[in-house]
Amino acid sequence: MEDLFELRNRCAHQDSLLGFDPSVELKKIIKLARWVDPDAGRWIGSIEQVTGVVDARPIPPKMNAVIIGDASNRNYELYRRVNALINPTARKIAPVSYLGFYHGQRIEPHFARILQVTVPTVWSTTEANRLKKSGDPEEKQLGKVMSYAIQAGFRSEESFEVYLLSPPDDPRTLRTSSERPIAHDKRGRGTAFAKGGRRYFSTAALMNASETSDLE
């Protein structure tokens, strides 16, 4: 419920929704409806038009990649292991096509294609095991991600979005032209690269940068 308060307030007060991914917010609404009444959740899913409107955007956003900042390498290690990002729902990610990782004073050299974003209704080892036995490839991958994430310390007390991503060696994954990380070349107070945990760029800029100052 708390995840939807900010969305509700922005809609009620005619504030900008550009910082939200409408498809993800829709999934949260359906998740809440299913918790109240499974039939209501299915009904909303059958009549929603959000997906079609998002897909029909006449001009894709110029800033089509998000870089996720992390003081440790936990997010990047999760990506290397299971090709996913576990994103706390409190950290809003705008609609983009690609996702990269910043840690240790560098941006990693590959930018994964976002394949699917899901909001799990249940977050537990039992649910992870159930999903891993599914015949649906996306559910099976989600189960693998959930299982690894729980072992890595992502607990059920929090609410998460799961971004399923193309692997580092996948043709859909973009890379820097040098295939080397982008070094953060600024030091000192006020020069932190990923304030707020994420920053947006065009993939063209990222692919051709060698230092973060190239992106400013």
Per-residue model confidence as pLDDT tens digits over 18-67: 666 677 678 778 878 888 898 998 899 899 988 888 777 766 667 899 99
The 3-class SS string of the chain reads CHHHHHHHHHHHCCCCCCCCCHHHHHHHHHHHHHHHCHHHHHHHHHHCCHHHHHHCCCCCCCCCEEEEECCCCHHHHHHHHHCEEEEECCCCCCCCCEEEEEECCEECCEEEEEEEEECCCCCCHHHHHHHHCCCCHHHHHHHHHHHHHHHCCCCCCCCEEEEEECCCCCCCCEECCCCCCEECCCCCCCCCCCHHHEEEECHHHHHHCCEHHHHC
The pTM score is 0.77
* Tokens encoding 2: 């708390």
pLDDT of residue 216: 74
pLDDT of residue 20: 65
Q: Which of 14-18, 26-30, 167-171, 181-185 has the lowest mean pLDDT?
A: 14-18
pLDDT of residue 108: 96
In the predicted structure, residue 114 carries a pLDDT above the cut 60: yes
Walk me through the domains of the chain, giving residue ranges and CATH numbers: 60-215 (3.10.590)
pLDDT of residue 180: 93
Distance CA(34)–CA(40), nearest Å, equals: 6
In the predicted structure, residue 190 carries a pLDDT above the cut 60: no
* Tokens encoding 19: 């910082």
pLDDT category of residue 16 using cuts at 50, 70 and 90: low
